[in-house]
């Protein structure tokens, strides 16, 4: 399987994000130095839920920019965000509330609101200064309930089965799951494998996992084995993750990651900068027209 199908308006691809919105996502993380997503009036610390929401909103903005042409935003992608905590449901806000997979042009035109955020930039003299930027919001932070991961994977599979029936020759959908805890509704490995078994003529659905562990350990990014992972749950998520296609390995090498033919789309103990870098590599198109 080559993962080389051209992505176009006639043959779009799909991104689906599965976001843990359980009660434990209320825990706070300290942002890395230079992180660009903090609201101008916010405290120095963000909850995991806030950090993930910022990362997803930033990614959506970047996808819109990638698809923008002189005549407008081209529908190269359908994008969905499913949140799971107190149940599993679509997580877009505003007029997109309840929508599952949305063409990127509709996302571009439908943010809930535009916030002013601060971004640290080089002042030209070896220091950093704050720059105010416009930051669109499509996805709000939520932290409540358990972690029904099996249901989330099952709903993702049903959603993509319908999408794939209409796009059998597309570049395969990419599913990115972000969680900080163990599944509370059973072993997620079987529903995860059923999701990865979905296929187009260009390859199987790709599943990547980001683990926001509370352990005070150095992040492990894009590993090719589970030997350095500290617990069984991290090893489980690693085993559920797809091996990176060759073109993503090349992107990761350009970003100075040490990757191999066995490298999987998995990050353990990720801070928000790691999450953003991971999402950027995992969502760069291989062949966009």
Mean pLDDT over each residue of the chain, to the nearest integer: 89
Per-residue confidence (pLDDT) for residue 289, from 0 to 100: 64
Domains in the chain (CATH in brackets) are 13-282 (3.40.50.410)
Cβ atoms within 10 Å of 64's Cβ, excluding its own: 20
Contacts 24+ apart (CB under 8 A), 253-257: 255/281, 257/221, 257/222
Q: Which residues contact 84 (CB under 8 A, 6 or more apart)?
A: 18, 19, 20, 21, 22, 147, 148, 149, 151, 152
Q: pLDDT for 79-136, tens place per residue?
A: 999 999 999 999 999 999 999 999 999 999 999 999 988 878 877 787 888 888 899 9
Three-class secondary structure of residue 21 per DSSP: coil
Q: Which of 170, 182, 179, 234 is nearest to 206 (CA)?
A: 170
In this prediction, the residues of the chain whose per-residue pLDDT falls under 50 are: 30-44
């Amino acid at each position: 399987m080559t993962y080389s199908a051209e992505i176009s308006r006639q043959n779009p691809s799909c991104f689906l994000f599965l976001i843990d919105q359980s009660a434990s996502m209320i825990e706070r993380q300290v942002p890395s130095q230079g992180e660009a997503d903090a609201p101008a009036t916010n405290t120095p610390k963000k909850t995991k839920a806030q950090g993930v929401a910022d990362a997803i909103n930033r990614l959506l903005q970047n996808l819109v920019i990638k698809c923008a042409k002189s005549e407008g935003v081209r529908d190269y992608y359908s994008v969905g965000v499913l949140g799971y905590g107190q149940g599993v449901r679509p997580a877009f806000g505003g007029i997109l509330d309840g929508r599952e997979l949305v063409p990127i042009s509709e996302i571009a035109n439908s943010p809930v609101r535009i916030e002013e955020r601060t971004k640290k930039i080089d002042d030209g003299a070896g220091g950093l200064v704050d720059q105010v930027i416009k930051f669109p919001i499509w996805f709000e932070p939520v932290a409540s309930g358990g972690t029904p991961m099996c249901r989330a994977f099952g709903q993702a599979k049903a959603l993509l089965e319908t999408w794939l029936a209409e796009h059998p020759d597309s570049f395969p959908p990419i599913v990115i799951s972000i969680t900080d805890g163990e599944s509370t509704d059973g072993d997620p490995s079987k529903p995860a494998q059923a999701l990865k078994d979905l296929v187009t003529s260009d390859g199987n659905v790709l599943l990547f996992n980001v683990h926001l562990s509370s352990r005070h350990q150095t992040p492990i990014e894009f590993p090719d084995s589970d030997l350095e992972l500290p617990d069984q749950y991290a090893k489980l998520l690693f085993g559920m993750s797809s091996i990176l296609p060759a073109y993503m390995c090349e992107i990761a090498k350009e970003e100075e990651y040490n990757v191999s033919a066995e490298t999987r789309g998995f990050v353990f103990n990720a801070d928000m900068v790691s999450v953003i870098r991971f999402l950027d590599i995992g969502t760069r198109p291989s062949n966009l027209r």
